[in-house]
Amino acid sequence: MAQEESTAEFAALAGQEEAARSEQPARPEQTDDAETVARGYFSALERGERTAQRDWYHPEMEGTVHGVVGPAGRDELVAWFDELYAAFPDFRFRVLDLVADGRHAAVRWRARGTFAGPGRFNGMAPTGAAVELEGTDLVWPREGKVGRVLAYTDGMSLARQLGALPARGSVTEARMTAALNVRTGLMARFGGSEEAEEVADGVWRVQGGWPADCNVYLLRDLDGDGQAGSGPSRTGGTVMFDAGGRYMTAQVRAAVARMGGLERIVLSHGHSDNRGTAPAFPDVPVLCHPDEVADAEGTGGWRYWQVDKLPWVHRQAHTRVLHPRFWDGGPVRIADTVVAGDTVAGFQVVHVPGHAPGLIALWRERDRVLLCSDAFYTLDLWGRPQEPALPPEAYNLDTQQARASLHKLAELGPAVAFPGHAEPARGDVRGALERAASQ
């Protein structure tokens, strides 16, 4: 019944077309009343005027059809509608509701058309499919014309009607869902579990999978004092320490969502496999040591790495695949910096340069927990577990300085030391770090 009513409505509208064409089309008036402008523009669309966008769009208008085109200016949007009309020659709008408050108007509409061509739509050749969809436009006036448009419509429904997506409940849809689940399972194998594991008081770890086993730590200052050190206190909410590799993005997003969101991200340093997921949180401020700003916002460490010192097979894997495709999420904007003595979620910042110029560790005296990122590795270049060791010289700014920093961390006497990759050092941690520094 609903389909019959809809068909009748469009038939009646089509029957009025010839009469409407015999009249002089309404043109924009010099008014900034949103309702007047919106009604004028959509009346032209209802009459099927293919010049409606040219007639009603302000020269400096901007608009977005969400998920389809924009943000864009007048010329780009006019061109997009020209393509739409060439692909759907009988495309017609009908206004269902229009509400306005003077400043802007909301228009709910229904549209129908036939993908008859001769033009293509989003690169697709005409299929003859009949489509019907609904949407809502928000319209802002400017000097009697449309100054801004934000359009929202059901892109998934349109894709199904065009055949770009399988019909709901079809065998093809079931097969596509099964394939997606297989892909998700494979990503979980390499991306790791999305569950954050509590590894110390107020410390949760999200670990990526092989071959890097990148660690992301989520911190909360459960005591709330945050007064260790002489620098400013940076406490409250959940803090991410290190951002791991890009391949962990979905995993880290899920863990962060379950933690209730992030207050800030603190990078131990700006290497590509430590900033990887940070761009996925564009509204969260990112902090690092002042000496790491250039790398976090720039090359991610490549400016001083000596990858030619890596064995040939590792050099090819790291430079061609792992860093560019799996680890690096790209540059991040640094909002603020931390220095030695500052406090992050109840941990004191310790500057441990060598692997990177501004590498920092986080130290908590009360339970002797150390988060030290890449001050040492517990896996080798093949991704195999090993005793704590200095990072490969190819990835260090200054290996001798890295040795001195590792001695410095050993002197703290940590009970447990969590690195940036793989598993922590436990037991005789001081001895293990001293041996690593002396290698």
pLDDT for 223 equals: 67
Q: Is residue 225 part of a domain?
A: yes
Question: How confident is the model over 171-188, as pLDDT tens digits?
Answer: 665 666 666 665 555 555
Task: Look up the CATH number of the domain holding residue 57.
Answer: 3.10.450.50
Half-sphere exposure of 412 (CA within 13 A, CB side): 27
Domain membership flag for residue 181: no
Same-domain status, 211 and 348: yes
As a whole number of angstroms, the distance between CA 345 and CA 364 comes to 10
Is the domain of 122 the same as that of 268?
A: no
The reply to whether 220 and 367 lie within a common domain is yes
Q: How wide is the angle at C-alpha 243 spanned by C-alphas 242 and 246, nearest 5°? A: 150
Is residue 243 domain-shared with residue 338, that is, in the same domain? yes
Q: Are 323 and 363 in the same domain?
A: yes
What's the confidence (pLDDT) of residue 49? 95
Asked whether residue 184 is domain-assigned, the answer is no
Distance CA 175, CA 330 (A): 34
Classify residue 42: in a domain, yes or no.
yes
- Looking at the fold, whether 107 and 233 belong to one and the same domain comes out as no
According to DSSP, the residues that pair with 138 across neighbouring strands are 106, 150
One domain, residues 270 and 125: no
Structural domain count of the chain: 2
Distances (CA, A) of 375 to 45, 332, 437: 64, 22, 10
The domain in which residue 13 lies consists of 2-165
Q: Using one digit for the tens of pLDDT, what is the confidence trace for 228-275? A: 333 334 445 899 999 999 999 999 999 999 988 999 999 999 999 999
62 belongs to a structural domain: yes
Whether residues 142 and 276 share a domain: the answer is no
Domain with 432 in it: what CATH number? 3.60.15.10
432 and 314 housed in the same domain = yes
Owner of token pair 């001769």: 118
- pLDDT confidence of residue 293: 97
Residues of the chain with pLDDT under 50: 1-5, 11, 13-14, 17-26, 225-235
In-domain check, residue 318: yes
Do residues 346 and 221 lie in contact, with contact meaning Cβ atoms separated by under 8 Å?
Answer: yes
Which two three-digit tokens encode residue 369?
């927990």
Please indicate, yes or no, if residue 182 is contained in any of the structural domains: no
pLDDT (0 to 100) of residue 229: 31
- Which residues, 6 or more positions from 104, have their beta carbon under 8 angstroms from its beta carbon? 34, 138, 139, 140, 141
Residues paired with 419 in a beta bridge: 373
Same domain, yes or no: 274 and 422: yes
Q: Are residues 29 and 157 in the same domain?
A: yes
- Alpha carbons 131 and 157: distance in angstroms, whole number: 9
**pLDDT value at residue 216:** 96
Kindly give, in sequence order, each residue whose CB lies less than 8 Å from that of residue 159, ignoring residues fewer than 6 positions away. Answer: 165
Please state, in angstroms and rounded to a whole number, the distance separating the CA atoms of residues 13 and 170: 34
Q: Are residues 159 and 198 in the same domain?
A: no
Q: Per the confidence metrics, is the pTM higher than 0.75?
A: no
Is residue 124 within a helix (H) or strand (E), and if so which, with residue range? none
Please report whether residue 187 resides in a domain: no
Three-state SS annotation for 240-281 = EECCCCHHHHHHHHHHHHHCCCCCEEECCCCCCCCCCCHHHC
Nearest Cα to Cα of residue 94 among 17, 1, 171, 159: 17
Contact 205, 214 (CB under 8 A): no
